[in-house]
Amino acid sequence: MSEIKLTINGVTRTASAEPRTSLLDFIREHLGLTATHMGCEHGVCGACSVMLDGVPVRSCLMFAVQADGHDVMTAEGLRDADGAPGVIMDSFIEAHGMQCGYCTPGMMVATHALLSQSPDPTDDEIREAIGGNLCRCTGYAQIIEAIRIAAQRLRDAT
């Protein structure tokens, strides 16, 4: 067992896990944060996307021990300080950018990553940003719409 200490959504947490535990399993099972979804578990679907040190990565493609000492943000971290859904979640709800919701946390993390880099993205940039996230339900059009709305609202807010 290895002791792993990391910052997750702004809070420092420590837990121990076997080295073979993926960051994804660690977040869900050891830290009890279940917004991050487990899809393919081999790097294809993007449902497990989290921010690591400020950039989006697939949490199924690294071991929890590798995140020791690092900063992680999951979809839970997109909520406002008072626990309200936050701009990105709200926009997904408004545009109905989901059906079953399985891909949604990953899509929202990808959205956060995009909008923190480019507040006014083109549709091509939006498509590129979610290019590594599969959705089996929506056909993507409403997800793209949700991201447009989120971008607009975040710009208006600043």
Partner 1 sequence: MKPAPFDYIKATSLDHALAALAAHDDAIVIAGGQTLVPMMAMRLARPSCLVDLNEIADLSGIETSEKYLHIRAMTRQAKVLASDIVRTKVPLLTKALSFVGHTQTRNRGTLGGSIAHGDPSAEIPLCAIALNAEIDLASQSGTRTVAACNFYEGPLMSVRRADEILSEVRFPIWEGGNIGTGFQEISPRHGDFAIVAVAVQLQFDADNICRRAAVALGGASPNPVRAAELEAALYGQRIDAALVAKIVGSIDRVLSPTDDLHASAAYRRRVAKSLTMRAILEAAI
Helix locations, 1-157, DSSP H: 23-25, 86-94, 104-117, 123-129, 141-157
Please, which residue, 58 or 112, has the CB nearer to ligand FES?
58
Rule CB under 8 A: is residue 65 a binding residue for partner 1? yes
Residue 113 interacts with partner 1 (CB under 8 A): yes or no: yes
Question: Could you say which of partner 1, ligand FES, none residue 100 binds, taking C-beta under 5 to 8 angstroms by partner kind?
Answer: ligand FES
Q: Which does 129 bind (CB under 5 to 8 A by kind): partner 1, ligand FES, none?
A: partner 1
Q: Between 38 and 126, name the residue whose CB sits nearer to ligand FES.
A: 38
Is 86 within 8 Å of 80 (Cβ atoms)?
A: yes
Q: 102 touches which of partner 1, ligand FES, none (CB within 5 to 8 A by kind)?
A: ligand FES
- Smallest separation (angstroms) from partner 1 to the CB of 111: 12
Structure tokens at 154: 């975040």
Residues in touch with ligand FES (CB under 6 A): 38-41, 43-48, 58, 60, 98-103, 135-138
Order of all β-strands in the sheet with 11-17: 11-17, 2-8, 71-73, 49-52, 55-58
Report the chain's terminal Cα–Cα distance, integer Å: 45
The yes or no reply on residue 139 touching partner 1 (CB under 8 A) is no
Task: Name residues whose C-beta falls within 8 Å of residue 37's C-beta, 6 or more positions apart in sequence.
Answer: 47, 48, 102, 103, 105, 106
